[in-house]
Amino acid sequence: MKKGRYVLILVLIFVVLILAAVVSFLALEFGAAPRIPSASYLEIGLSGPLVEYPETNVLSALFGPGQALSVNEIWTALRMAAVDERIAGVLIRMGPLECDWAKCAEIREALVRFRTSGKKAIAYIEEAPEFSKEYFLATGCDRIVLHPLGWLGIPGIGGQVPFFKKALDRLGVRVEVQHVEEYKTAYSMFTETGFTAAHKEMTESLLGDQFAHFIRAVAAARGKTEEEMRALVDRAFFQGEEAVQAGLVDELLYQDEAAALIRKDGRPLPRTTLEAYALLDPTSVGLEHGRKIALLYGAGPIHDGESRAQTMGADTIVRWLRDSRDDESIAAVVFRVDSPGGSAVASDVIWREIMLCRKKKPVVVSMSDMAGSGGYWIAMGASKIIAQPQTLTGSIGVLSLKIDASPLLEKLGITSETVRFGKRSDIFTPFRGLDAEEKDLLKKQLVWIYDRFVAKVAEGRGLTPEAVRKIGRGRVWTGAQAKEIGLVDELGGLSAAIDAAKTLAEIPGGEDVRLIIRPKRRSFWAALLGRRDASAAALLPRALGSALEWIELLDRDRIWALMPVWTEY
């Protein structure tokens, strides 16, 4: 009897929680805009996953800790706060971020631009043992405050590339990769036991260039020489007063004391959260009343079909580009790309639509953390390409992958019989490897696609095919390096891309523009009833969902334009 009562209580609690969640969503969907106090500070918690544009995920929204922060929300909030008389300053609560350097640079630039309004930006850090990337972002603020017992770690930039070949050999799994050319190392972790010469050269070049930019930017922000900054990075860790004495932070305070640094008429101010402020429309503070510019977001691996949570489907991007091209009220297009690449065919489909769009209006690509291989393919036809100095781009090359699990299957006692009509009908089966003739056949297919990749880069960038081959070969470059060799036009972030689009569209520099953003910000009900959340991967935890997306994509597409990857901190 008692057991039944406990079950009933648990069911009632569950029902109440669901009803509370639904009621809160109804309030957000149909209620009035949040009221912002007439004098307050904007608090932004920067910690955890950071994506380009927010995704609505029904299950995580109802039961999870909330969706990931997005660069778009923070960038928009800082633009609004700069002109909003109700906001006196910004407090950034810094924590470990799950993103690469270019996203941090984007927010740092937005903070620096916010400060030109005369309002203060304060970065607050509690404890940060490995914080180089986040500290770089924090130096965009007026002041950096550390918790009295906190410690700051700026050990520099390093990374690891795991190599799984020995483990796969023990399991009885062979990964057969064909690639063009020597720097195209996206799957070397499965085929090598360590760096090849080209792989090591490229990795050291990328991280070295990012580190040099970090030293220059942070040294300038903290009033130090580059030599002094390098010495501090080599020292790595600073506790409390040590961080103040080293000039890395300005004060040791508790969070409430840090917030009190933002004052008006000598008095501390109430808080406005990013979650509430992001619900406001930019037009409510006098922004975005001019001509229209389409701002399209393409993030994640590129594949055919419709986009999913943090993936880029060619059909979706083409539809947005076509709508923007046909809409006479839209003066230009800014395409924000954050992708390591993907299907070569899907990338080419998007490239074609960009070429058609730019015949009617300017198309400017803004590169985020990465826009390489297929990510560069879709960018190279734009009227102008703008990247952050730390963006990873280039990787002009192609590859294919096949898994031969026959030794493992034999160990497990799994046998097979072959029935085929056509000599190569079972070429991608996991029950056997490739013979020499098949390897040569696949390599010829890759070279054929690579030649067309090179020709399109040459056409789009005004280079000779010979020049593109020298800087191609699958090599990844930072944005700063890419500018030097002609793969991008300018260094900067999203604001620079919008300014470039305005110039190309002959919109006066001082004139405001209205951003037509895709994907549209979807309501809770659209997310609940829409087709995009039909993907099971979208409803799973982030890492598992991403893994399932990749497994499905690898099963469909045989020729890839993908960047090398590594774990960086």
Between 69 and 333, residue with greater pLDDT: 333
User: What does the pLDDT read at residue 508?
Assistant: 95
pLDDT at 33 over 80: no
**Residue type at 178 in one-letter notation:** Q
Can you read off the two tokens belonging to residue 337? 């790309």
Q: Which residues contact 151 (CB under 8 A, 6 or more apart)?
A: 127, 128, 129, 237, 238, 239, 240, 243
Task: Report the C-alpha gap between 440 and 435 in whole angstroms.
Answer: 9
The terminus-to-terminus CA distance of the chain in angstroms comes to 55
| DSSP classification of residue 384 | E
Question: What residue spans of 84-125 are helical by DSSP H?
Answer: 101-115
Would you call 568 helix, strand, or coil by DSSP?
strand
Half-sphere exposure of 555 (CA within 13 A, CB side): 6
Q: Which residues contact 66 (CB under 8 A, 6 or more apart)?
A: 60
Between 329 and 550, residue with greater pLDDT: 329
Task: State the chain's mean pLDDT as an integer.
Answer: 88
**Residue type at 397 in one-letter notation:** G
- Cβ burial 274-288 (10 Å sphere, 16+ → b, else e): beebbebebeebebb
Task: Report the C-alpha gap between 27 and 14 in whole angstroms.
Answer: 20
Domains and CATH numbers, the chain: 35-155+236-282 (3.90.226.10), 288-413+430-568 (3.90.226.10)
In this structure, are residues 245 and 142 in contact, taking their beta carbons and an 8 Å threshold?
A: no
Between 267 and 192, residue with greater pLDDT: 192
User: What does the pLDDT read at residue 310?
Assistant: 86
Q: Name the least confident of 164-173, 189-198, 548-557.
A: 548-557
Task: Report the C-alpha gap between 462 and 456 in whole angstroms.
Answer: 10
Between 242 and 56, residue with greater pLDDT: 242
pLDDT tens sequence across 545-568: 444 454 555 555 456 677 765 444
Can you read off the two tokens belonging to residue 146? 């550390």
* Among the listed residues 374, 367, 371, the one whose alpha carbon sits nearest the alpha carbon of residue 341: 374
Task: Report the C-alpha gap between 566 and 206 in whole angstroms.
Answer: 11
Can you read off the two tokens belonging to residue 435? 């013979």
Q: What is the mean predicted confidence (pLDDT) over 455-482?
A: 97
Can you read off the two tokens belonging to residue 423? 């000599």
Task: Report the C-alpha gap between 439 and 176 in whole angstroms.
Answer: 9
CA triple 123-367-54, angle to 5 deg: 60
Distances, alpha carbon 453 to alpha carbons 206, 375, 443, 462, 560, in Å: 23, 12, 15, 14, 12
Can you read off the two tokens belonging to residue 261? 């640094």
Chain-centroid distance of CA 48 in Å reads 13
Distances, alpha carbon 80 to alpha carbons 24, 73, 90, 277, 287, in Å: 25, 10, 12, 9, 7
Would you call 314 helix, strand, or coil by DSSP?
helix
- Cβ burial 345-358 (10 Å sphere, 16+ → b, else e): bbbbbbbbbbbebb
User: What does the pLDDT read at residue 263?
Assistant: 85
**Residue type at 216 in one-letter notation:** R
Residue 318: CB atoms within 10 A of its CB come to 18
User: What does the pLDDT read at residue 150?
Assistant: 94
Q: What is the mean predicted confidence (pLDDT) over 428-440?
A: 94
Residue tagged 């097979």 (tokens): 416
Q: What is the mean predicted confidence (pLDDT) over 534-539?
A: 39
User: What does the pLDDT read at residue 498?
Assistant: 98
Task: Report the C-alpha gap between 400 and 344 in whole angstroms.
Answer: 10
User: What does the pLDDT read at residue 118?
Assistant: 96
Distances, alpha carbon 412 to alpha carbons 173, 403, 406, 408, 417, in Å: 12, 17, 10, 6, 16
pLDDT tens sequence across 75-88: 999 999 999 999 99
pTM value is 0.88
Task: Report the C-alpha gap between 10 and 4 in whole angstroms.
Answer: 10
Question: What residue spans of 327-478 are helical by DSSP H?
Answer: 344-358, 374-377, 406-411, 436-461, 465-471
In a 10 Å sphere around its CB, with 0-12 CB exposed, 13-18 middle and 19+ buried, how is residue 170 labelled? Answer: exposed
Question: What residue spans of 139-262 are helical by DSSP H?
Answer: 165-171, 188-191, 197-221, 226-235, 241-245, 255-259
User: What does the pLDDT read at residue 398?
Assistant: 93
Residue tagged 């483990």 (tokens): 167
User: What does the pLDDT read at residue 161?
Assistant: 84
pLDDT tens sequence across 330-369: 999 999 999 999 999 999 999 999 999 999 999 999 999 9
pLDDT at 17 over 90: no
